[in-house]
Amino acid sequence: MAAVVKVKDIVDALELVHDGMQSYLNIETGQVIQVADEYLDAAESGASLENYADWEQDLIREAQDVLQVPEKYVTLPDRFDINEYSLMEQFCCDLEDDTLSNTMLMIIKGSGAFRRFHGAIAQFDIANDWYQFKGKAFQEMAIDWLEAHEIKYQQSEG
């Protein structure tokens, strides 16, 4: 029987997405696990667990389970699916102050956009607005993903 998944667990996993790590939802338990590429590689190659610390052995066992029983897992979106730059751009466009919106859009053009964006949201005192916007976007993304995979979910209370 498939578990009911908490939307917050998916959102939390999406917020932690980065290169070298993949997140999976165990559809039987509703648990999200994150597996570093190096542990997937170790599981795939059949590396001896003795060569790893106890905590790493647990991670390799999780990776082995993902590889050996793939029907039990659904891969969560990665950073390319999320496209945080698009989120930043949408946030800038949605700003009510047209001058600030245009300024922010100019700031995020070109190389170094993420660094400049984070500096600018602090400078213009809109960091809280950004984090609320991003949180809502991740919530919508998580729900869309769960529905696309026909996974039952529950929203957090409060």
User: Is the domain of 29 the same as that of 71?
Assistant: yes
Residue at 58 is within a domain: yes
Q: Residue 37: which domain range?
A: 18-75
Structure tokens at 66: 């993902």
CA–CA distance, 126 with 108 (Å, rounded to integer): 15
Contacts made by residues 19-22, CB under 8 angstroms, sequence distance 24+: 19/79, 22/75, 22/76, 22/78
Q: What is the pTM of this model?
A: 0.85
User: Is the domain of 66 the same as that of 112?
Assistant: no
User: Is the domain of 51 the same as that of 85?
Assistant: no
User: Is the domain of 89 the same as that of 140?
Assistant: yes
| 62-95 per-position pLDDT tens digit | 999 999 999 999 999 998 899 999 999 999 999 9
CA-wise closest residue to 88 among 117, 122, 116: 117
Residue at 12 is within a domain: no
Residue at 49 is within a domain: yes
130 contacts 121 by C-beta, under 8 angstroms: yes
Average pLDDT over residues 39-65: 93
| 117-154 per-position pLDDT tens digit | 999 999 999 999 999 999 999 999 999 999 999 999 99
User: Is the domain of 87 the same as that of 129?
Assistant: yes
Residue at 156 is within a domain: no
Residue at 4 is within a domain: no
User: Is the domain of 64 the same as that of 87?
Assistant: no
Query: Domain total for the chain?
Result: 2
Residue at 137 is within a domain: yes
**What is residue 157's predicted lDDT score, i.e. its pLDDT?**
59
CA–CA distance, 136 with 79 (Å, rounded to integer): 17
CA–CA distance, 26 with 149 (Å, rounded to integer): 13
User: Is the domain of 87 the same as that of 141?
Assistant: yes
